[in-house]
Structure 1
Amino acid sequence: MDSLTQIVLGAAVGEAALGKKIGNKALLYGAIGGTIPDLDVFLGLFTDTVTAIELHRGISHSIFFCIILAPLLGWLVHKIERKKNLGWQPWTKLFFLSLITHPLLDAFTTWGTQLLWPFNIKIAFNSIFVIDPLYTLPFLFCCIAVLFCSRGSKLRMRFNRFGLIISTIYLLSTLILKLLAYKKIEKELDNQGIKYSSISTRPAPFNTILWNANIDTKENYLITDYSFFDTKPLKFKKFPKNREKSSRLMKYLNVQRLIAISNDWYIIEKKGGNWYFNDLRFGLIPREDGTSFFAFSYHLIEKEGKIQVIEVPKTKREAQFLMQQLWHRVIGN
């Protein structure tokens, strides 16, 4: 999830752990703990593109990391806040809760987390977009309200508890919405006589009414959108896999690593004499000229018996156009 959401979640669990004893400092230290796992993005500044992708939401988003770091932070803050005379254990509890809830929330997104690192298992429920106002804004309001309540007051506890409960209920409801969208798309494929091997669904940006789907068929990937307000049959856009044409590139280690990262949802295509690796999990972004492009695409440069991978820069987008397109699709086809 986005940084603001993780700060709010960390602050709320920090308040739940020590708010009665230390007041607003529990929010502060909880917010710090909730931010720490995402500092792994800075590692990408010192390594290559593929390694940076592999490191993101890796060890820093694991149970192992939380277990190791929580007591270290607990001991450090105990020394800093020695006047509180709490001992290191309560601080350790606060940091463990704020650290572990970060990857647990991220597990509901498309990118997922390596919660069980060092085991190479990525957990991704694909049920919430990385920025979802319906999750964050009510939670943020409750967190701000806590700041203005006296320490230990019932109102303070109720605001914080309400924020945690309503955000959790919304998060769990996204799993139900995902199932409903999956069943609708599955039924639509059967109605149109389309044979497929698997379906991957995820919410469109900023909402859980519109869902994007990738469908794996023998020769092609199909991509579609489904809104709960749709009344017409769904249209499926076809993207040839072209595995034979790109098979030569698949012998390279960097390409194999990208395939693993994409969970096999990928297309390697040649455009203008250059090869590109497209990660299908994050969908298409429309252009005003009626075309579209993949949100995550990587330029593959063959050089000295190796493949260099460079992420394709995100082109300048017209925010107003994208939001209009999103809204028109949310309200139904």
Structure 2
Amino acid sequence: MDTVTHTLLGAAIGEVILGNKIGRKALFYGALMSNLPDIDVLGVFFLSDSKQLLFHRGITHSLFFIILISILLGWLTQFWIKDYRITWMSWTKLFLITMLSHLMLDSLTCYGMGLFEPFSHYRISFNIFFVADPFYTLPLLIGVIVPFIGKRDSKRTVKWNSIGLSISSCYLIFAIIIHNYVFQVTEGSFKEQKLISDDFTVTPTPLNTFLWMAYSHDKKGSWIGYYSIFDENKKIYFQRQERNDSLLIPFEKDQVVKNLKLLSKGNYFISKEDSIVYFNDIRFGQVSGWDKAKDEPYAFKFNLNKSADNKRALNRIKFKESTYEWFASLVNRIKGK
């Protein structure tokens, strides 16, 4: 999830755990610690672009890391912040729960997270949320900001913070239910059309959990389609995207390609533009084109040229239309067809 959402959820949890003891400082400590797992972004300074993509959400997003670092920082903090009202166990509890919230949110996206590193490199991704979802974030913002900007009153603070957490939690439950519903609908439509695949996934489109992208892959390519919960017809039109592995022949021994294949879990296709070969990860969805899946570029587009700068391979593509037109097309497709 995005940094804003991590920060707000961490602040809300900090208020619940230590707000009655240290006041507004609990919001700050909760917000700060909830973002600690993303310290792995510093890997950009010493890792290649493809290795950084794998390093991100790896060891620093594991249970091993956050348990160890929570205990260590909890013990150190009691000496740094000498407050007799708070034991090292209380600090450890705050750090552990806020960082667990970070792992929980990241596991709901499509990127993949190494929860069991370093013992297992398997990456968990539940595909429930897009990387940013205002329907989840806004209640947290209201619950944290309203009591923070006014005169602090314990009852008022607890009330608004509880409201924010409750609404966002209800939306999360709603998203899980909708995900299961859309999976059943799209899988049923897929089987009805007698399409063959090795795997099947549904993931939300940008900023919502109403319009979903469904995709599957086999050895030669993928089937891709879109479904809105407001669509009248439950039959989804799947379009074929060939994998084009023949374009990878010049790169078959390249570690970069191996890293990207591992990251994508087989959900990729290769494209060639002006003699440049690109690795496209389907999981992150398309930039737009909700009704013409095959005609629009994908958000993850990695240039396989050895001298290319791929630090922004994810979301590097600019919209062909204005932001307003892009958003309007998304909203219109969400409304159903």
Q: CA deviation at 1:315?
A: 3.5
Q: Does 1:296 align with 2:300?
A: yes
Q: How does 1:287-326 map to 2 (within 5 A)?
A: 291-301=295-305, 310=310, 312=313, 314-317=316-319, 318-326=322-330
Residue aligning to 2:281:
279
For structure 1, list consecutive stretches of 5 or more residues without a partner in the other structure. Answer: none
Once the two structures are superposed, what CA deviation does each residue of 1:120-177 show, in whole Å capped at 9, x if it has no partner?
A: 12111001111111101012111123324646x3343233233223322321321211
What secondary structure does 2:39 align onto? Answer: helix
Q: Does 1:55 align with 2:55?
A: yes
Q: CA deviation at 1:47?
A: 1.9
| CA distance in 2 between partners of 1:302 and 1:41 (Å) | 22
| CA distance in 2 between partners of 1:265 and 1:246 (Å) | 15
Q: How does 1:32-181 map to 2 (within 5 A)?
A: 32-118=32-118, 119-147=120-148, 148=150, 150=152, 153-181=154-182
Q: 1:251 to 1:80 in 2, by over 3 A?
A: same
| CA distance in 1 between partners of 2:183 and 2:126 (Å) | 13
Residue aligning to 2:210:
209
Q: How does 1:190-209 map to 2 (within 5 A)?
A: 190-209=191-210
| CA distance in 2 between partners of 1:242 and 1:282 (Å) | 19
What secondary structure does 2:108 align onto? Answer: coil
Relative to its length, the structure with more strand (as a share) is: 1
Q: How does 1:322-333 map to 2 (within 5 A)?
A: 322-333=326-337
Q: CA RMSD in A?
A: 2.3
Once the two structures are superposed, what CA deviation does each residue of 1:184-238 show, in whole Å capped at 9, x if it has no partner?
A: 1122223333233321110011111100111224533111110011124422222
What secondary structure does 1:181 align onto? Answer: helix
Q: CA deviation at 1:113?
A: 1.6
For structure 2, list consecutive stretches of 5 or more residues without a partner in the other structure. Answer: none
| CA distance in 2 between partners of 1:92 and 1:277 (Å) | 42
What secondary structure does 2:126 align onto? Answer: coil
Residue aligning to 1:184:
185
Q: 1:115 to 1:146 in 2, by over 3 A?
A: farther
| CA distance in 2 between partners of 1:212 and 1:309 (Å) | 29
Q: CA deviation at 1:94?
A: 1.0
TM-score computed with the length of structure 2 as normaliser: 0.89
Q: How does 1:233-272 map to 2 (within 5 A)?
A: 233-272=235-274
| CA distance in 2 between partners of 1:227 and 1:330 (Å) | 6
Q: CA deviation at 1:59?
A: 1.4
Aligned residues: 327
What secondary structure does 1:286 align onto? Answer: coil
What secondary structure does 1:82 align onto? Answer: coil
Q: CA deviation at 1:101?
A: 1.2
The range that moved more, 156-165 or 318-327, is 156-165
Q: CA deviation at 1:60?
A: 1.4
Residue type of the alignment partner of 1:320: Y
TM-score computed with the length of structure 1 as normaliser: 0.90
Work out whether residues 300 and 309 of structure 1, in 8 Å CA contact, stay in contact via their aligned partners in 2.
no
Q: 1:135 to 1:6 in 2, by over 3 A?
A: same
Work out whether residues 269 and 275 of structure 1, in 8 Å CA contact, stay in contact via their aligned partners in 2.
yes
Q: 1:145 to 1:245 in 2, by over 3 A?
A: closer
Q: CA deviation at 1:86?
A: 2.2
